[in-house]
Homo-oligomer: A and B are copies of this chain.
Amino acid sequence: MTDITPTDIPCFDDVLAARDRIAEHVHRTPVLTSRMLDGLSGATLFFKCENLQKAGAFKARGASNAVFGLTDAQAARGVATHSSGNHGTCLAYAAGRRGIPCTVVMPRTAPEAKKDAVRGYGGRVVECEPSTSSREAVFAEVVAETGAEFVHPYNDPRVIAGQGTCALELVDQVANLDAVIAPIGGGGMISGTCLTLSTISPQIRIYAAEPEQADDAARSFRAGHIIADDAPETIADGLKVPLKELTWHFVRNHVADILTVSEAEIVAAMELIWKRLKIVMEPSSAVPLAAILKNPKIFIGQRVGVIITGGNVDLRKLPF
């Protein structure tokens, strides 16, 4: 594990700066409620709908903060990342808003819809083989060729500060929260949430929720050091990636617990949200509700913020 220095860790002022920097490029997303889901859980749930965010995911926040924080000289060389998920799409979105080049390295086996999403925002897709070594080699070539700024999907202080603007909105929209729960993959959203809430509302407990079949963060949390799994399989495809140094810092210091749920529990919670909240969202985003329903004793009687992280799902391949 690489050591991190205190200067790598974003502070709350970075969240405030991010909020102002990205204000005109992201939505202030609505918070939805359902008496039926409150009844099922015994809690009062406030769903922060980042599936309704620009480009369909909270990652538009972090990506926009990184892109609009570049100097003009940096921006002229563009940005690059490797991602077959929402970060690639959202980085292309943000780069498109600034009018700068964006390259996303993706495995050639990634769904065409994901590649089209990047291209739809004006980004360039460069394909690699579906292996870490190929991805790293191809990505190094891209950066050498373009001089583009690398924006990591989550292990980047600019990205974490950007994701922290979501919790800032949530506490402004909903008073007296007792807890907030979000899915955890690489930990970018959870880290931003920790960064914001530990400063302005330290009494709010922060829970992370994870698929049993990709429970590396939960095992890391219990072991006290990062454990990374090789290619876990789960329907919650946004949550397969491991923690990294920066996100581990926030998880270790500020998360109350990491709760895990089965694939069937994820699908059941997803269908409940579609039916009751009338929103289109990804399996990854159903993991927190599944965790609440599985652990009623933790949340009963409490006011709980639930982050719905993204809505980019194939409508022709629904799991229910």
Q: For residue A194, give the distance in angstroms from its CB to the closest CB of chain B.
A: 26
At the interface, yes or no: A277 with Cβ under 8 Å from chain B?
yes
> Contact: A278 with B278, CB < 8 Å?
no
Q: For residue A45, give the distance in angstroms from its CB to the closest CB of chain B.
A: 14
At the interface, yes or no: A261 with Cβ under 8 Å from chain B?
no
What chain B residues lie within 8 Å of A315 (beta carbons)? 271, 274-275, 318, 320
Q: For residue A159, give the distance in angstroms from its CB to the closest CB of chain B.
A: 22
Query: Measured between alpha carbons, how far is A52 from B318 in the docked complex, in Å?
Result: 21
What chain B residues lie within 8 Å of A275 (beta carbons)? 280, 315
Which chain A residues in 280-298 approach chain B with CB under 8 Å? 280-281
Q: For residue A112, give the distance in angstroms from its CB to the closest CB of chain B.
A: 15
Q: For residue A311, give the distance in angstroms from its CB to the closest CB of chain B.
A: 4
Q: How many copies does the complex hold?
A: 2
Query: Measured between alpha carbons, how far is A52 from B320 in the docked complex, in Å?
Result: 21
What chain B residues lie within 8 Å of A281 (beta carbons)? 278
* Minimal Cβ-Cβ distance residue in B for A310: B278
* Minimal Cβ-Cβ distance residue in B for A282: B278
Q: Write out, one digit per residue, whether chain A residues 34-61 have a CB within 8 A of any chain B CB (1) or not (0).
A: 0000000000000000011000100000
> Contact: A320 with B311, CB < 8 Å?
no
Query: Measured between alpha carbons, how far is A78 from B18 in the docked complex, in Å?
Result: 54
What chain B residues lie within 8 Å of A52 (beta carbons)? 30, 32, 277-279
Query: Measured between alpha carbons, how far is A33 from B24 in the docked complex, in Å?
Result: 13
> Which of B27, B279, B316, B320 interacts with A280 by CB under 8 Å?
B279
Query: Measured between alpha carbons, how far is A52 from B47 in the docked complex, in Å?
Result: 12
> Contact: A274 with B280, CB < 8 Å?
yes
Query: Measured between alpha carbons, how far is A320 from B318 in the docked complex, in Å?
Result: 12
> Contact: B30 with A278, CB < 8 Å?
no
Query: Measured between alpha carbons, how far is A315 from B277 in the docked complex, in Å?
Result: 13
> Contact: A311 with B280, CB < 8 Å?
no
* Minimal Cβ-Cβ distance residue in B for A33: B27
* Minimal Cβ-Cβ distance residue in B for A120: B36
What chain B residues lie within 8 Å of A271 (beta carbons)? 315
Query: Measured between alpha carbons, how far is A281 from B315 in the docked complex, in Å?
Result: 13
* Minimal Cβ-Cβ distance residue in B for A56: B278
Query: Measured between alpha carbons, how far is A311 from B274 in the docked complex, in Å?
Result: 10
Q: For residue A123, give the distance in angstroms from its CB to the closest CB of chain B.
A: 15
> Which of B311, B316, B318, B320 interacts with A278 by CB under 8 Å?
B311
What chain B residues lie within 8 Å of A279 (beta carbons)? 52, 278-280
Query: Measured between alpha carbons, how far is A46 from B98 in the docked complex, in Å?
Result: 24
New A-B pairs, 11, CB < 8 Å, besides A315-B320, A318-B318:
A30-B30, A30-B52, A52-B279, A274-B280, A278-B279, A278-B281, A278-B311, A279-B279, A280-B280, A315-B318, A316-B320
Residue contacts A-B, CB under 8 angstroms, 22 given = A27-B33, A30-B30, A30-B52, A51-B278, A52-B277, A56-B278, A271-B315, A274-B280, A274-B315, A275-B280, A275-B315, A278-B279, A278-B280, A278-B281, A278-B311, A279-B279, A279-B280, A280-B280, A315-B318, A315-B320, A316-B320, A318-B318
